[in-house]
Amino acid sequence: MNNVLAIAQRELKSYFVSPIAYIVIGFAAIMFGYFFISLLYYFDRVSLQAGVGFGGPETVNVNEMLISPLFLNVSVILLFTLPMVTMRTYSEEKRSGTIELLLTAPLTDVQIVFGKFLGGLALYGAMLAVTLVHIGFLFAFGNPEWPPVLAGYVGLLLMGGCFLSLGLFVSSLTRNQIVAGMVTFAVFLLFWVINWIASFTGPTTQGVLNYLSIVEHLNDFARGVIDTKHLVYYVSFIAFSLFLTVRAVDSERWRG
């Protein structure tokens, strides 16, 4: 476990000495802020129409009307930012030869992959932490319920974990980080639009495609419900992607 943390820590630090961390967090803050303001504006209008002001007796629910759609919009941010987080993880190590240090140190492949995953997840956590500022405003000036907000964050963390593990896998396949970034973006896009494609197909395919969609599973979390079905989906998605990454690293070894 110490080994895993050492790798995660190094990974996280390397994001912050490069512009990546600042670009990712900055972009996320701006986009989230934009979504927040537009939804707030919309919410304000709806509340006025309902004849209540901000903070008045709650007939219009802040959680439902504001926080939940806000969380669903976060997937757009992830689509653009997370490929930047994962693209260098393996590619850069392969290109620069530092992979030789990791693969000849007394570490298992699982430890290395998991360490890198945790490093990316920590950066993503920092990104989410910035969004707490906006949510904090709502708590300061209104009185939303906190358990659904918490559920939403759990969902976001898991959804990001899926994207990160997938990105890690793509990065393990090439030594060119630009290629890794672009392919990762394309794959994310596919998983993102998959339920949109689903709407054009028959009911059974639709069911399958919707199930595969990473974003679809966020709906319940965003609404404040932690359903084991979705939890299982996210956790197994992450585990499977990380497993594929371990396999990719190992098979690269055999091929040389």
Partner 1 sequence: MIEVQHLTKRYGPVTAVDDVSFRVERGEIFGFLGPNGAGKTTTMRVLTGYMPPTEGRAIVAGYDVLDHPIEAKRRTGYLPETPPLYPEMTVRDYLTFVAKIKGVPRKERRVRVDASMERARVADMANRHCGKLSKGYRQRVGLAQALLHNPEVLILDEPTAGLDPKQIIETRELIKQLGGDHTVILSTHILPEVGQTCQRVVIINKGRVVAVDSPENLTSRLRGSETMYVQVDATSEDTKRALEAIPGVTQVSLADTRGTVNSFEVSSEAGRDVRRELAAAVVTRGWGLLELRPLRMSLEEIFLHLTTDESAAPPEPAGADLSASAEASADGQVGPAEAAHEPGENAHE
Residues that bind partner 1 in the complex, under the rule CB under 8 A: 2-3, 6-7, 10, 13-14, 17-18, 96-108, 253-256
- 């290395």: which residue's tokens? 112
C-beta closer to partner 1: residue 78 or 87: 87
Q: Minimal CA–CA distance to 245: which of 114, 106, 95, 102?
A: 114
C-beta closer to partner 1: residue 89 or 131: 89
Single-letter amino acid code for the residue at 146: W
C-beta closer to partner 1: residue 227 or 252: 252
CB atoms within 10 A of CB 75: 21
What is the separation of C-alpha 20 from the centre of its chain, rounded to a whole number of angstroms? 16
- Alpha-carbon distance of 206 to 182, in angstroms, equals 27
User: What minimum distance in Å lies between the beta carbon of 141 and partner 1?
Assistant: 41
C-beta closer to partner 1: residue 176 or 210: 176
For residue 7, what is the DSSP state? Answer: H
User: What minimum distance in Å lies between the beta carbon of 100 and partner 1?
Assistant: 4
User: What minimum distance in Å lies between the beta carbon of 127 and partner 1?
Assistant: 20
User: What minimum distance in Å lies between the beta carbon of 221 and partner 1?
Assistant: 35
Single-letter amino acid code for the residue at 44: D
C-beta closer to partner 1: residue 229 or 255: 255
Q: Minimal CA–CA distance to 71: which of 1, 128, 7, 136?
A: 128
C-beta closer to partner 1: residue 8 or 149: 8
Q: Minimal CA–CA distance to 169: which of 75, 64, 83?
A: 83
User: What minimum distance in Å lies between the beta carbon of 97 and partner 1?
Assistant: 4
- Give the burial class of 210: count Cβ atoms within 10 A of its Cβ; 0-12 exposed, 13-18 middle, 19 or more buried: middle
User: What minimum distance in Å lies between the beta carbon of 6 and partner 1?
Assistant: 4
Q: Are 230 and 220 in contact (CB under 8 A)?
A: yes
